[in-house]
Structure 1
Amino acid sequence: MKLVSAHCEECRMMEREKSLRQFVQRRPCRSEQVEWQQKGEKVLIKVRRSDWLGVLLRWLTSRPVHRQIELDEIGGFVWNLCDGFHSVADIAEELERRYQLSRREALASLAEFLSQLQKRGLIRWEEDKK
């Protein structure tokens, strides 16, 4: 029984490693529908509201309603590298170098940040463009 359990654990580890290798090769790209501007070290992103309140306000005021997201220095640094050319691995290496992070810290933080950007429709993955 222990042999089967150890084998299953080894399989799970191999799957996680494969998944991580695939993830770090992906190339994030800013969405074309997003307006943004650099303000010093920060980045301001203008997002059109598409929730029910945004639709209602647009209907009442007859003009587009936007919300603004402000990225701090590190978020802005990552945002500027989301150009469709830099891979997740490239961006993680830049984070390690610039902010003296370990590889693990850089990848974990970057994965979470990119996930949030994707959920909000602010980035896509370059291979998703097709």
Structure 2
Amino acid sequence: MAKEKKDDNFLLYIPRKKHTTYEKRNGKVYLIFYHNKPIEKFLRWLVKKPAVSDMELDNLGSTVWELIDGQNTVYDIGQRLLEKFGKDAEPVYDRLIMYLRYLNRRGWIAFDRGNQE
């Protein structure tokens, strides 16, 4: 008789950063982007855009980014958000999972499966 494989619990996944260029200013995280690929250079020249741009994360997003350290699980991050923001973070796991999936789709983070037992 074969063992049934249980579904993975996403709350036990461990996010880790792939985008490494960022800085913290005035308590907020700014992701820094360098536009140095050939097509980006051409488009930058065409529309007069800067070679470097940044994206400011809000308070919740900055806190999540700082908590992504390759050790905290999605569940741990959600608990820390509840401690820090209380009801302002509700519904915490729905919002957190949606945000983490967005970061993953953009290629800025990846997930390790974590201990699924």
Q: TM-score range by the shorter chain?
A: 0.7 to 0.9
What corresponds to 1:79 in structure 2?
A: 65
Q: Which whole-Å CA distance do the structure 2 matches of 1:59 and 1:26 have between them?
A: 41
Q: Aligned-pair distance for 1:91?
A: 0.3
1:101 aligns with 2:87: yes
Shift of the 52–120 alpha-carbon distance from structure 1 to 2, 3 Å rule, reads farther
- Deviations 1:87-122 (Å, cap 9, x if unpaired)? 000000011111113996110010111111111111
8 Å CA contact 1:95, 1:101 repeated in 2: no
* Cα RMSD after superposing both structures: 3.1
Which of 1 and 2 has higher RCO (CA within 8 Å, sep 6+)?
A: 2
Contact kept, 8 Å, 1:92 with 1:106, in 2: the verdict is yes
Matched residues, number:
105
- What one-letter code is carried by the residue in structure 2 that aligns with 1:89? Y
Aligned partners of 1:71 and 1:115: how far apart in 2?
15
For the pair shown, the structure with the greater C-alpha radius of gyration is: 1
Gaps of 5+ in 2: 1-5
Identical counterparts, % of pairs: 27
Structure-to-structure mapping, 1:46-85, within 5 angstroms: 46-49=32-35, 54-57=40-43, 65-85=51-71
| CA distance in 2 between partners of 1:124 and 1:94 (Å) | 20
Residue in 2 that maps onto 1:3:
none
**Distance in 2 between residues matched to 1:121 and 1:100, nearest whole Å:** 29
Residues of 1 paired with 2:33 and 2:112: CA distance?
Answer: 20
Structure 1, unmatched stretches of 5+, are: 1-14
Do the aligned partners of residues 26 and 97 (structure 1) sit closer, same or farther apart at CA in structure 2, a change above 3 Å counting? same
Aligned to 1:12: none
